[in-house]
């Protein structure tokens, strides 16, 4: 095809948006709503996932060491702990620090502490945080194999709750996102089919005068792409404003933020690029393919 022919088809696609503005507007609205449904579902999933991750990161495992462990051995254990793949943070907590902390927290039992004199009944410990809470049991088993480990304290019950919560959330949100995508595809497909149906005669005329399938489809492709692009752009703006609004409201809820962690809500600026690409790219692609594919039924004459 010559360049002039290609330009003609692109111009036809652009012109068709205006000539068929009612159907183009219907497709635009359907694409917009579909993109928002899917987009918000994904954003909610990402944020809830991050919130759970934030809660998980606050849980620590305490590794108590034998009382007779030498300083060199303590250092060696610390190095081995830091070398473990699922360990993200290792802090040494000496028995002196622990004793001071205990005395402060139990100030009313001062007499009891005085009776102990200089004897410190506590032991040295490491406070560690794990990267993936689902792998905490494996990490603990690994730690148990080290020498001079007196005992390990881990929040097993809480970990189980979090693992189950994350699992349920993944399934529920996954199902919601899949449902949204299916519903959106059905609505988009019906709308583009209706749009193409209203122009089936036009397509048949093109076929009768010897137009190839590609010649007929290309303007529909361009038309759908333009509609999808603008639907994606508006969906981006709506999401941006709504997301920022929700984040602002949450940031004023200090109690809630203390529970879920201040860093748990993803700022829009951090996800701006992928969200823009998904909305505009996805909108244009779905619009273009939806329109072009819907012509198939009427193209076979």
Partner 1 sequence: MVELKNVSVTYSSGVDALNHVSLKINDGDFAFVVGSSGAGKSTMIKLLLKEIEATEGTVVVNGYNLSKLRRSKIPNLRRTIGIVFQDFRLIPSMTVYENIAFVLRVIDAPKSYIRKRVPYVISLVGLQAKANNYPNELSGGEKQRVAIARALVNDPKLIIADEPTGNIDPELSYEIVELLMGINACGTTILMVTHEHDLVRHFGGRIINIAKGEIVYDDIMEGEVLYEETIAPGVDEDMMEDADEA
**274 sits near partner 1 (criterion: CB under 8 A):** no
- Tokens representing 87? 């360990």
Contact track, partner 1, 16-55, x by CB under 8 A: x--xx-----------------------------------
Phi and psi at residue 86, in whole multiples of 5°? -95, 5
Question: DSSP E strands: which ranges in 60-159?
Answer: 60-65, 87-93, 125-130, 149-153
In the three-class reduction of DSSP (H, G, I as helix; E, B as strand; rest coil), residue 69 is classed as coil
SS3 300: coil
Contact status: 209 vs partner 1 (CB under 8 A): yes
Q: Which of 32, 42, 43, 206 binds partner 1 (CB under 8 A)?
A: 206
Closest contact distance (angstroms) between CB of 267 and partner 1 is 47
**Part of the chain binding partner 1 (CB under 8 A), chosen from 102-110, 133-141, 155-163, 199-207:** 199-207
Interaction of residue 205 with partner 1, rule CB under 8 A: yes
Q: Report CA torsion sign: 19, 25, 30, 31.
A: positive
Under the criterion CB under 8 A, does residue 10 sit at the interface with partner 1? Answer: no
Range in contact with partner 1 (rule: CB under 8 A) among 58-66, 107-115, 202-210, 273-281: 202-210
Q: Which residue number, 69 or 204, has a Cβ lying nearer to partner 1?
A: 204
Task: Decide the pairing of beta strands 60-65 and 149-153.
Answer: antiparallel
Could you write out the DSSP letters of every residue in 244-288?
HHHHHHHHT-HHHHHHH-GGGSPPHHHHHHHHHIIIIIHHHHHHH
Residues lying near partner 1 in the complex (CB under 8 A): 1-2, 4-5, 8, 16, 19-20, 201-202, 204-212, 215, 301
């Amino acid at each position: 095809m010559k360049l002039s022919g290609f330009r003609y088809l692109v111009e036809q696609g652009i012109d068709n948006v205006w000539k068929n503005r009612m159907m183009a507007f219907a497709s635009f609205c359907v694409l917009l709503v579909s993109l928002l449904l899917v987009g918000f579902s994904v954003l909610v999933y990402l944020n809830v996932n991050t919130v759970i991750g934030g809660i998980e990161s606050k849980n620590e495992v305490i590794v108590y060491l034998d009382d007779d462990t030498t300083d060199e051995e303590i250092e060696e254990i610390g190095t081995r702990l830091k070398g473990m793949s699922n360990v993200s943070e290792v802090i040494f907590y000496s028995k002196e620090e622990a004793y001071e902390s205990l005395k402060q927290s139990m100030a009313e039992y001062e007499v009891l502490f005085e009776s102990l004199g200089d004897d410190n009944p506590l032991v040295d410990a490491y406070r560690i945080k794990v990267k993936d809470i689902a792998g905490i049991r494996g990490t603990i088993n690994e730690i148990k194999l080290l020498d001079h480990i007196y005992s390990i304290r881990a929040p097993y019950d809480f970990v189980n709750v979090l693992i189950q919560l994350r699992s349920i959330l993944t399934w529920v949100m996954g199902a919601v996102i899949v449902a949204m995508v299916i519903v959106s595809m059905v609505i988009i497909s019906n709308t583009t089919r209706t749009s193409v149906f209203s122009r089936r005669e036009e397509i048949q005329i093109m076929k009768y005068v010897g137009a190839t399938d590609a010649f007929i489809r290309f303007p529909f492709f361009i038309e759908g792409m333009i509609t999808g692009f603008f639907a994606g752009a508006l969906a981006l703006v709506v999401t941006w404003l709504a997301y920022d609004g929700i984040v602002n409201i949450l940031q004023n809820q200090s109690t809630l933020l203390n529970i879920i962690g201040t860093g748990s809500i993803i700022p829009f600026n951090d996800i701006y690029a992928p969200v823009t690409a998904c909305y505009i790219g996805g909108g244009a692609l779905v619009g273009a393919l939806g329109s072009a594919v819907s012509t198939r039924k009427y193209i076979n004459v």
